[in-house]
Structure 1
Amino acid sequence: MNNPSKLEQQLCFEVYKASSNFSKLYARTLEPFHLTFSQYLVLLTLWEQNNLLVKDIGNQLGLGIGTLNPIINRMIANGWLNKEQSDKDKRAFVISLTEKALEQEKPIERAIISKITSCNYLDINAKTLMTNLKELNAFLNQLKE
């Protein structure tokens, strides 16, 4: 009888592998749009609420400014985002969607939904999995404090 290794018994390892596999799935789906998974997350944030400060995007995504700035700069260079100095704080920048980003929201959404639906696994287990992961993340965030 094979006993699972210590690594295979770790919840954190399974969450890590799932995250990595999701990133790969999304990367393949987003490739025709010339977007990375991280760039897609920035777009999702701005499609929900446009014209956000860089720090607010970072807070929503759990990314530091040092990680987020290169992502945003590449997206600006590729025509997805605009960056303007804030009227309220000259040290801060407001990020907004370009016309290209607004026009591509629905096609990107359709591509993602099509890929996820084709997996079928999520139709059955998505709500339970999402609830459990949100509870786990809330618990882990409390441990930081």
Structure 2
Amino acid sequence: MFSGTYRPKLDDKGRLFLPAKFREAMGDGLVITRGQERSVDVRTQADFDSFAVKLQNAPQTDARLRHHTRMLFALASDQKLDKQGRFTVTPELREYAGLSKECVVIGVYNRLEIWEPAAWAEYTAAQEQAFSDVEEEVYPGL
């Protein structure tokens, strides 16, 4: 499980140092792609493969699914960590998420998200009150 908030920096080649606590889980490879709200999703190769099978088995007659999977897979990039625990965030994904040097990496259960710091601050400010105000079940079955 991935959790926590970290602030690594992209180097001049677009490489990001993965926080040490996540390196073992990502050691067999990872996939980066577009995330929601202009973030970058980072999943283990195994999790991404499992996710892809679910999408493949979903009804392709649903236009929303077709649109979503095109956007998801078009910028997906298989990555391996180098000896220093870095991976490359592709130029297309850096542009999509507005990433330059500073980044915020958050753990979200089965994946990581990479955010541009101002976008993350704006998102959390907008969501904080809604998070605090939850009075009903938001997680089915819990």
Give the TM-score normalised by the residue count of structure 1: 0.31
Structure number with the higher strand fraction is 2
Q: Greater Rg, structure 1 or structure 2?
A: 1
